[in-house]
Structures are given as C-alpha cells and as structure tokens.
Structure 1
C-alpha cells in the first residue's frame, strides 16, 4: 500500500517521497524578472523541511508577457549563475525541482505589458474587464514562436541543473486558453474541435522534449474543468489527458478553474460536495475518472490537510503524488511534519480584505502568500494571522510605479 514516505522513480530521477510543493507565484523577482537570493533562501528552507519535490511558480517564457510583477523570466542565459545556485539547493537536500513554465496570454493586468495576446480576441467578463484588457489574437507565426520559447526555456532550465519543468496548462493561462472553446474561437488548425485546441499543448511538449532529451522530466498542470458554461469540460480534459499521456508526459497535475471562475478560492471552495470534503482533495474524483485511461503518474493538488487523507488517496490508486501549496507558506517544515504523522496545523481560508472588487478578483490569494514567502526566504517565521489589508497596502505602494509606467508605455505604443 503506497504511503507518503514511499519513493517513486521517473526517468533518471527518484522522488524520495510523494509530497510535492505545488506551484505558487513567489513574486520575488525584480522588474527584469531576475531570480535572486530570496528564491534560493525560500527553496532551501523547503528543501531542508523534507520535501520530495518543489515546483516553482509561473516562470515566464517571454519578458513581454508577464502575468504580474515579481515573476521570474527565463528566455536567455542572462541569469544562469543564479539559476544554477537555485537548482543546486535541491540537489544538496535530495529535493527534485521543476520550474513551472508559463505564458499568461490574456491574463495580464492592464498596464503591466505593452499588449496582451491570446488565441482569440475574447474580452473578459464585465466584472474583470476593467482590470484585464481585450487581447489581440495571435498570428500563426507568433504561435510557433511561443512554442519555440517554451522549448528554449526548458533547455535553459536543464542547463541550470533543474530536473524538469511543468507546463502550466491550467487556471486560464495561455495553454488553458487554447484548450477552452470560450477563449479559443479560431477557425484554423489551432481551434475548433478538441483535437485542434490541444494541438498547442502537444506541440509545446514535443518541442520541449526535442530540446531537453529523454532524461528530463516534463509534467503538465491541467484543469479538470474551467467551471464556466460552454467552456473546457470534463470530457475535454479526459481527451487531453489521454493524448498528453500517450505522447510521453511524465506526470499530470490535476487542478481546475480560471481567474473568472476560481476553483480553490472563496465560494467555489466552500460549495464542494460533502463527499469531496470528507476525502479532503478537491479533484480526487476526477483523478479516479481518468486513472484507468492514462499510463503516467497523477498528482492531485488542493484540499489535503491530514496525513490520513493523503495516505488514503495514495492507497486508493487515484493519485501517485500529493500536491500541497498554500500551507507551505505558513508551515515551511510541513513535509517533515507530515512524514512524522502530524497533520497540517493551519486551516487555509479565503484571504479577504473587505474590499469587494479586490476580493472578487482573488488577487489576495497571490500577494498574501507572496508576503509570507519573502519572510521565510529571509530567515524569519511566517505569520498565519498577517493582515490582508496591510499586505495590500504594501503591495500597492511597491508596484504602483510599475503599473503607471506600463500604462504610459501602452499609450505611447498606441499613439
């Protein structure tokens, strides 16, 4: 019977246990997207804490397309020395590290980049249209360039010493936008039926494999659904999982939702079926649904809080890895705690400021945790009771210049 302590070998790499720190946006980089000592400090704390694997969050493949301030950009060898230091942290403590490669597509706040691009020029819902501009549809030449960029970023990650990468195909980012019929209304080979809509993801996988070879881990994060009427459905997700598994993907992380319909924040999390609550994990039932249809390992993230719930999920065969994200922001030694039989101490609750517009966007689910990451990286203890309003104030003061500069550049470009 599989348990948290058990090893698992994928290609040339052995995961020392089944606990994976799922990706979260660290927001620690400078305006140029460069990693720094904070990244190394943060991941060293987690590595010392017993993690089998850590997935870094939202590393951009194009400096012109950032989803938020503070993300790392990996498109050339500019920061190779620092990246090698970061990768070495995992090797010293036996923790496998994957960089999550991402392109945000339309999910870029107004003013952050010169323009936003997407499969199609589909506007956001009225509630978010003031925050996110209507994107420009990508040309086929641009699509092929982005595919190449994913491959190049993966090659650089391998050069730095990381054991692999994860393709971010969930949460409404660009790969997810291609997969959804709501955001992909193209009439060419990249749109239409699910076979065409998944072409972008499959071409990225093949490009990454070509540039990194057979000993490099390539994982993917996929939505089980995007929870929007007429959008990416469970049936679509099953077809994509089968195709990417057949292509050779090393493991699939199952998630769900988009900015417009977050799956693991606020009301969505609170309205789960009682059966799901009892088993803890948000997406375990979907994992069971596709378990017999894919040959690769599965990772389920979201909702796990007890050792029993995690071991039961592994023993059931529904998943092979337990993904945990937000608890690591307030319990950096969590992996060792779980391996010794201690449950998660702090219940994760929606981060609310009391400001309706801010809370509806769920932006605090990113920046509150990023504030904790900086604290951990600098050798201090995180504060589970940190005021969301205080975090929002400091975030706005620190990033207002970036946003204003981006708005001015956008106006110049369109003049």
Structure 2
C-alpha cells in the first residue's frame, strides 16, 4: 500500500515523500529580482516543515521580463549566490529544489499568446535554456516550465486563447509547438540527468471545451520526448480556487488520473489537496504519484511534518483567497494572529 511518506527516486534523486510545495508567488524579492532575507526565511520554513520537494515561485528569465511585483529572477550570473543559498537551505533540510521558469511578458505588461511576432517566439526557447543552465549552475535538482494558470504559455494550448495562424497555432500540434521547442532547448542545454518538469492546465476559468484534450496531448508529446514530471493544475488566472470552507478537495483528480494513465512520467496533482487520507486513497486508486500543496503551506508550513508524525488533520486552509498582501503573499489568518487579532 502506498503512503504519502514513501521514498521514491527520479533519475537518481530521492524524494523523501510524495509531497511537493507547488510554485507560489511570495512577492518578497528585491527590485532586481534578487533574494532577500525575508524570502530566504520562507524557504527555510518550508524546508524545515518536511515537504519532499519545493518548486520555486515563477522565475523571470530576462531582466525586462518581470511581470509581478517582488518576483524572483533567474536571468544572469549576478543573482546566482542567492539561488545557491536557496538550494543549500532546501538540501540542508532534505528537500529537493526545482526552479519554475516562466515568461509572462515584458516591462510589467502581461502578454497574450496573440501578441508577439513569430520571430520573437522563435527566440524564447533560448531564454528558458539559459535559465535552466543557471539553475543547474546554482545546484538546483531541476526546473519546471510554467504552462498553466492562464499565463502566456498556457494560452498557446487553449483553442480559445490562441488565435494564431502561423506555426504556433491553428492545430493541436501548432498550439504546443512553442512548449515543445522550449522543452527541446532546455534538454539540450542541461542534459538528461537534470529533472525537467512542466505544469499544465486541465481546465480554465470558463470551462472552455478542448482544454483538457490539449493538456493530454501536450503531456503525451512531452512524455514521448522525455519529460520527467508533469504537474496537472487548472482554472487559470490569479483567482485560483477560492471555495471557502465548502471547497472540494483534490479537484483535478479525474484529469490528473487520466494523464497519469496515458504517460510514463510521474504525475503531480495540485489543486485543493487538503486531507492526507484523501491523497493516500488517490495514490492507491490511481497512477498519480505525487501531490502538491500551495496555500495550505502558507498557513501551516510544517504540515508535512505533522502528517508524518501521525496527525490525520485536514489542512487548516479554508480557501478564502485572502493570501495576497502588499507585504507578501501569506496567510490572512497568520497575519491576523501576528497582529494580535482574534
């Protein structure tokens, strides 16, 4: 019988359990996208809390491509010391660290899939490859290409959002051409022993027909090309899943299970994973291998250690959607407690 705390191995790297911290924007980097003491403290608390692997917040890959305030960057050698400190913090506490590579636009302007020219898109894979090379130099275990949550890359996979008529649109193959080119460029740059992951949307905010089919097609194509991990997410945009106390759990289970049955690479399920009993049941009833948590770890960064210690508690996160704050993306209830409020 599988448990959340089985040790598993991917390409020689051991994960001490089946729990990932899914990429979560912290809003704590400095004006140049460099590590700050406050941001390092977040990763230290996560690593000490017992999660098996941490996926960083979205890392921007060009100096002018920051799209979110306080976003962490990975675009030149000058920032590597900070990333090495993140790696040391994770590894020192037994957690793997993957850097999430992202492109959303330039100069604070969010792009749509239909905005850039073909020539601009032809150049993008090299930035992902350089980001991956920098991550490898810093000591990361791997990288994840962010193609979810309604951002730039995920729009290419959407039949509704991608209206292109060039090589990057017009058919399923065209819609995933940019993602496939990015994967190929990254793999050529970092080699076979570096973990490569992708995050895909299986649904969007509008329940657009065909989104899951494009997700499955992209996952299958990437699997054939040699992808190491596929994280299945959905809904898109920054609204996320905000169902309050009535929030359903593990909401993308059906789609993630279907992807896991279709590909050889391990699948990570993210999206309202709250109950250890539910996750263990999913691990035993489907081919889903791993589970990722985001907002529950904002409220309880030590939740994995609690579960490993025998607690059967459901995560205290109530999906209220009040995480975002000018001082950083963190739990409303933690902020309130720190302020001495009831």
Give the TM-score, by structure 1 length.
0.76
Corresponding residue number in structure 1 for 2:104: 104
| Structure (1 or 2) with the larger CA radius of gyration | 1
Contact map agreement 1:54 1:97 (CA 8 A) in 2: yes
Which secondary structure state, in structure 1, belongs to the residue aligned with residue 185 of structure 2?
helix
Structure 1: any 5+ residue segments left out of the alignment? 121-136, 352-363, 373-381, 391-415
1:199-238 counterparts in 2 under 5 A?
Answer: 199-228=177-206, 230=208, 232-238=210-216
Corresponding residue number in structure 2 for 1:117: 111
Shift of 1:181: 2.3
1:301-316 counterparts in 2 under 5 A?
Answer: 301-316=270-285
> Residue 383 and residue 173 in structure 1: after superposition, are their counterparts in 2 closer, same or farther (change >3 A)?
closer
Structure 2 distance, partners of 1:27, 1:85, is 18
Deviations 1:173-207 (A, max 9, x none): 11101111222211111111111000111111111
1:320-331 counterparts in 2 under 5 A?
Answer: 320-331=289-300
> Residue 384 and residue 194 in structure 1: after superposition, are their counterparts in 2 closer, same or farther (change >3 A)?
same
| Partner residue of 2:233 out of 255, 264, 268 | 255
Shift of 1:45: 1.6
Structure 1 distance, partners of 2:197, 2:111, is 24
> Residue 73 and residue 104 in structure 1: after superposition, are their counterparts in 2 closer, same or farther (change >3 A)?
same
Shift of 1:239: 1.1
| Partner residue of 2:308 out of 322, 339, 364 | 339
> Residue 218 and residue 369 in structure 1: after superposition, are their counterparts in 2 closer, same or farther (change >3 A)?
farther
Shift of 1:335: 1.1
> Residue 65 and residue 195 in structure 1: after superposition, are their counterparts in 2 closer, same or farther (change >3 A)?
same
1:41-80 counterparts in 2 under 5 A?
Answer: 41-80=41-80
> Residue 247 and residue 58 in structure 1: after superposition, are their counterparts in 2 closer, same or farther (change >3 A)?
same
Corresponding residue number in structure 1 for 2:328: 370
Shift of 1:118: 3.2
| Partner residue of 2:170 out of 186, 192, 195 | 192
Structure 1 distance, partners of 2:211, 2:19, is 28
> Residue 366 and residue 319 in structure 1: after superposition, are their counterparts in 2 closer, same or farther (change >3 A)?
farther
Structure 2 distance, partners of 1:370, 1:248, is 36
Deviations 1:299-336 (A, max 9, x none): 10122222211111111133100111101111121110
Which secondary structure state, in structure 1, belongs to the residue aligned with residue 27 of structure 2?
coil
Structure 2 distance, partners of 1:325, 1:348, is 12
Matched, 1:170 2:127: no
| Partner residue of 1:264 out of 235, 241, 246 | 241
Structure 2 distance, partners of 1:46, 1:75, is 24
Shift of 1:365: 4.2
Structure 2 distance, partners of 1:81, 1:349, is 35
Contact map agreement 2:22 2:292 (CA 8 A) in 1: yes
Coordinate RMSD, CA, aligned: 2.3
> Residue 116 and residue 328 in structure 1: after superposition, are their counterparts in 2 closer, same or farther (change >3 A)?
closer
Give the TM-score, by structure 2 length.
0.91
Shift of 1:371: 4.4
Structure 2: any 5+ residue segments left out of the alignment? none
Shift of 1:151: 0.7
Contact map agreement 1:180 1:231 (CA 8 A) in 2: no
Contact map agreement 2:27 2:327 (CA 8 A) in 1: no
Shift of 1:41: 1.9
Structure 2 distance, partners of 1:194, 1:365, is 35
Deviations 1:14-50 (A, max 9, x none): 1111111111101111121111222322211211221
Equivalenced residue count is: 337
Contact map agreement 1:45 1:332 (CA 8 A) in 2: yes
Contact map agreement 1:39 1:86 (CA 8 A) in 2: no
Contact map agreement 1:326 1:348 (CA 8 A) in 2: no
Which secondary structure state, in structure 2, belongs to the residue aligned with residue 225 of structure 1?
strand
| Partner residue of 2:224 out of 246, 252, 255 | 246
Shift of 1:165: 0.8
Contact map agreement 2:25 2:329 (CA 8 A) in 1: no
Structure 2 distance, partners of 1:259, 1:91, is 31
Which secondary structure state, in structure 2, belongs to the residue aligned with residue 384 of structure 1?
helix
Deviations 1:65-110 (A, max 9, x none): 22210001111101111211111112212100011111114xx8xx
> Residue 17 and residue 116 in structure 1: after superposition, are their counterparts in 2 closer, same or farther (change >3 A)?
closer
Structure 2 distance, partners of 1:232, 1:207, is 27
